[in-house]
Amino acid sequence: MSTVERQAKIRMVLVNTTHPGNIGGAARAIKNMGLTELYLVQPREFPAPRAVWRAAGARDVLANATVVETVDEAIEGCGLVVGTSARERRIPWPLINPRQCGERIWQEASSHDVALLFGREDRGLTNSELHKCHYHVHIPSNPDYSSLNLATAVQVLAYEVRMASLANEAGELPVMDDWDQPLATADDLELFHDHLAETMAALKFYDPDNPKQLITRMRRLFNRTRMDKMEVSMLRGLLTAATRTIKK
Ligand code: SAH
């Protein structure tokens, strides 16, 4: 697959951005590093003159940005979703560093769409957004002052994707293993998790009014296994059979 085709499979997703200047700054950062796909989930103010001003020569990236209502729409069709985090969270998630993130994104973009999620300026990504991700990435900043400006964080991670693409051109990046089935996409996984939760409730294995951390832990378990589409439909078949049996 050509470099341009891979670049087009990498979505940089900005969630609920408050300051349009950051959207412009992110567009510029993305284009500088050879990427093209900017997704905006409910930006507070967009289109906006301040975004255009900060984008400088990257107005085309802004003009082509995809604006959506939900994170689920932004990651639809993606086989890999990575969430950024400026701090540690309660339930740990598989964590990669920016270099590993760049490499993984570039490798996986050869076979499916990938998304990198960026959070709100004031409070980052919500837990439920972070729990949709296969990996979290943290830029190892000063622990006493860990939060980067949003567009700056986009710059750092886009740079790592660039470095991985150059390493790949030089033959220095390992190629991904071949797999016989396409990987499950974010939307396949959402449907699977809904189905799993419904079935667990029907089996009285879990009480929807008192879920504790079961759902989160199930998400973490299945996100870690990187299921393919056939594995998801197999498990959904099993859930359907279980429900049918208890209804009898
Ligand atoms: N106060 C927020 C920080 C948000 S910073 C919080 O505690 O989560 C805005 C966004 O920039 C973050 O959601 C993330 O996408 C990115 N970002 C900032 N610093 C980062 C870091 N050290 N590592 C990874 N992403 C970072």
Q: Which two tokens stand for residue 66?
A: 């995809």
> Do 124 and 191 belong together in one domain?
no
User: Would residue 175 count as lying in a domain?
Assistant: no
Distances 48 to 23, 67, 177, 238 between C-alpha atoms, Å: 9, 13, 43, 49
* Domain that residue 240 falls in: 186-247
pLDDT in tens, 15-27: 999 999 999 999 9
Estimate the share of the chain in helix, then strand, then coil, as percent rounded to the nearest 5.
Answer: 50, 15, 35
> Do 205 and 108 belong together in one domain?
no
Mean confidence (pLDDT) of the chain: 96
Please give the single-letter amino acid code of residue 32. N
Distance 124 CA to ligand 1 centre (A): 5
Does ligand 1 lie within 6 Å of residue 217's CB atom?
A: no
> Do 79 and 161 belong together in one domain?
yes
pLDDT in tens, 133-158: 999 999 999 999 999 999 999 999 99
Burial class of 117 by CB neighbour count within 10 A (0 to 12, 13 to 18, 19+): buried
Band of pLDDT at residue 91, cut at 50, 70 and 90: confident
**What's the CATH number where 125 sits?**
3.40.1280.10
Mutate to test the pocket of ligand 1, among 44, 147, 152, 159 (most ligand atoms within 8 A of CB): 147
Does ligand 1 lie within 6 Å of residue 42's CB atom?
A: no
User: Would residue 177 count as lying in a domain?
Assistant: no
Number of domains in the chain: 2
